[in-house]
Amino acid sequence: MNIHTYMQTLGQQAKAAARVLSHLDTNFKNRALIAIANELQDHKADLMAENQKDLVAGKENGLDDAALDRLTLTPKSIQAMIDGLIQVATLPDSIGEITDLSYRPSGIQIGQMRVPLGVIGIIYESRPNVTVDAAALCLKSGNACILRGGSEAIHSNRAIAACVTQGLIDAQVPPTAVQIVDTTDREAVGELITMKEFVDVIVPRGGKSLIERISKEATIPVIKHLDGICHVYIDDKADIQKAIRIAVNAKTHRYGVCNAMETLLIAENIAPDILPELAEIYHSKGVELRGCAKTCSLLPKNCIRATEEDWQTEYLAPILSIKIVSGIDEAMNHIHQYSSQHTDAIVTEDYTLARRFLREVDSSSVMVNASTRFADGFQYGLGAEIGISTDKLHARGPVGLKGLTSLKYIVLGDGHIRA
C-alpha cells in the first residue's frame, strides 16, 4: 500500500471512530483509560525490550546523549505513563455539557453544547511517553487521534500502541480511536497535515524546527507555540525580596522549558538595589548574564554586553539577558517588540501599574508578582496539558482537555418558525 492510501485509510478509520467517541458515555472512556494502564503494567518487560531495540539503533545512528535520554523508557517512566492514564480518568468529562441554555424573545431556547473537535493529529519527536499521554487526553475529550512519533522510537511506539489498542478493545471502545502511523516514511507527515477531510486539528510537540515546518505546511489548523521568550519586569515599586525570589525562580528553576524567563527588565531606580545581589545568585548558579550598557556598568565583573539578537533569543539555557528601563512604558514597549506572547510578568506593589500591565500586555499568560514558571496546565488547574498555545484563536496559553473541544449551538423549540 502506498503512503497516500495508507494515510487515507487511517483517516477514514479515525473519522468513523470519532463519530462513535463523540457521544460515548464517560464510563466507557474511563474504563478504556484504566484498561490501557493495566496493559502497560502487564507489558513492562516487553516495552523495555522493544525500547532497547530503538536505543541500540539510536546509538548506531549517532543520537546524542540528550536524544537517547528522551528516548529511554525506564520502569519509572512507564509507571509515570500509567499514573497519567489514571489521573486523566479521574478528570471531569465536559463533553455534552450544555451551558447558557436560555429562552429568547421568540420563544426558542438557545444553548451551547461542548463537543469534541473530531480527529486530532499529533506529531512528536523521540519521547515515546507522548504516545500514551496524547492518546489519553484525546480519548477523554471524545476525539479520535492519529499519532505520528519519531522514527527513532518506532519499536517503542508500536509496543505502546499495542497496549493502547488492547485496552480499547477490552473496554469495548473502537480500537481505531487511537492509531499510530506505523511507518517511518517521512511522506506520512505531509499526508497527515493536509488530510482536511479527515483531520480537524494538528498538535505538533517537539523542537522549534519541527513546529515551524508543520505550521508552515499544514492546511489543517495547528495548535502550537513556537517560542517562549518570557520577560519579568521588576518595577521600581517592587518588593525587593519578592523580586529577587521571582527572578531567580523564573530563570533557574529549570532552564530548558518554554516558561523560563529569558529577559529580565528592571526599572532604573531600583536596579542598583537589586542587580548586584541578583547577579551573585545567578553567578553562583552558573547563569551567564548579557546586559545593556547600564546593566554592565552596575555589574562590572559579571556582565557581557547584550546584542540585538539577545533580546530575540530563547536561550533554553543558563543565560539571561538584562535590560534597565526607565519604567513600565519602556518595559511594555520592549515586551511588545520582543515577547513571543507566551508569558510575561511584572513585579510591583503598585496597584495602578499592576492593573495596567495585566490589561495592556498581550501575552497568553500575564502575571503579577509570580514566577513565569507557573504557566503550566497542571499549575493552572487544567488537570493535564496537551501543549501551550501562543496563537490567539481557539486556545491561548496552556491547553488542557477543553482546548480539544468546541461548542455547538443547540436550539429547542415547539414548532417555532421564523416570522
Give min distance, CB of 62 to a copy of itself, in A: 35
Q: Is 92 in the site for a copy of itself (CB under 8 A)?
A: no
Q: Is 80 in the site for a copy of itself (CB under 8 A)?
A: no
Q: Is 115 in the site for a copy of itself (CB under 8 A)?
A: yes
Q: Is 285 in the site for a copy of itself (CB under 8 A)?
A: no
Q: Is 164 in the site for a copy of itself (CB under 8 A)?
A: no
**For residues 271 and 316, what is the distance between their CA atoms, to the nearest angstrom?**
25
**For residues 54 and 297, what is the distance between their CA atoms, to the nearest angstrom?**
51
C-alpha closest to that of 167 among 286, 82, 49: 82
Q: Is 363 in the site for a copy of itself (CB under 8 A)?
A: yes
Q: Is 232 in the site for a copy of itself (CB under 8 A)?
A: no
Report how many residues bind a copy of itself under the rule CB under 8 A: 66
**For residues 217 and 347, what is the distance between their CA atoms, to the nearest angstrom?**
40
Near a copy of itself in 287-326, by CB under 8 A: none
Near a copy of itself in 324-343, by CB under 8 A: 336
Q: Is 358 in the site for a copy of itself (CB under 8 A)?
A: yes
Give min distance, CB of 297 to a copy of itself, in A: 28
Q: Is 8 in the site for a copy of itself (CB under 8 A)?
A: no
Q: How many CB atoms lie within 10 A of CB 231?
A: 28
- Using CB under 8 A, which of 57, 67, 316, 407 touches a copy of itself? 407
H-run or E-run covering 241:
helix 240-252
Beta-sheet pairing, 178-180 with 261-267: unpaired
Q: Using the rule CB under 8 A, give the single segment among 132-140, 175-183, 235-243, 312-320 that binds a copy of itself.
A: 235-243
Helix 129-140 crosses helix 154-170 at what angle (to 10 degrees)?
A: 30
C-alpha closest to that of 136 among 182, 93, 98, 97: 93
Sheet order of strands, 230-234 included? 303-305, 288-291, 319-325, 261-267, 230-234, 343-347
Give min distance, CB of 256 to a copy of itself, in A: 15
Q: Using the rule CB under 8 A, give the single segment among 53-61, 170-178, 184-192, 364-372 that binds a copy of itself.
A: 364-372
- Using CB under 8 A, which of 7, 292, 328, 370 touches a copy of itself? 370
C-alpha closest to that of 360 among 387, 384, 385, 328: 328
Give min distance, CB of 45 to a copy of itself, in A: 35
Output phi, psi for 230, to 5 deg. -100, 140
Give min distance, CB of 2 to a copy of itself, in A: 25
- Using CB under 8 A, which of 8, 9, 12, 22 touches a copy of itself? 22
Q: Is 113 in the site for a copy of itself (CB under 8 A)?
A: yes
Binding mask 201-230 for a copy of itself (x = CB under 8 A): x-------------------x---------
- The grid cell for 145 is 487521534
Q: Where are the alpha helices (DSSP H) in 253-327?
A: 271-284, 293-298, 308-311
Do residues 227 and 390 make contact, with C-beta atoms less than 8 angstroms apart? yes
DSSP summary character for residue 306: P
* Residues present in the chain in total: 419
H-run or E-run covering 67:
helix 65-71
Near a copy of itself in 173-192, by CB under 8 A: none
Q: Which residues bind a copy of itself (CB under 8 A)?
A: 19, 22-23, 96, 102, 104, 106, 108, 110, 113, 115, 117-118, 200-201, 221, 239, 241-242, 245-246, 248-250, 253, 336, 345, 358-360, 362-371, 373-375, 379-381, 391-394, 396-398, 406-418
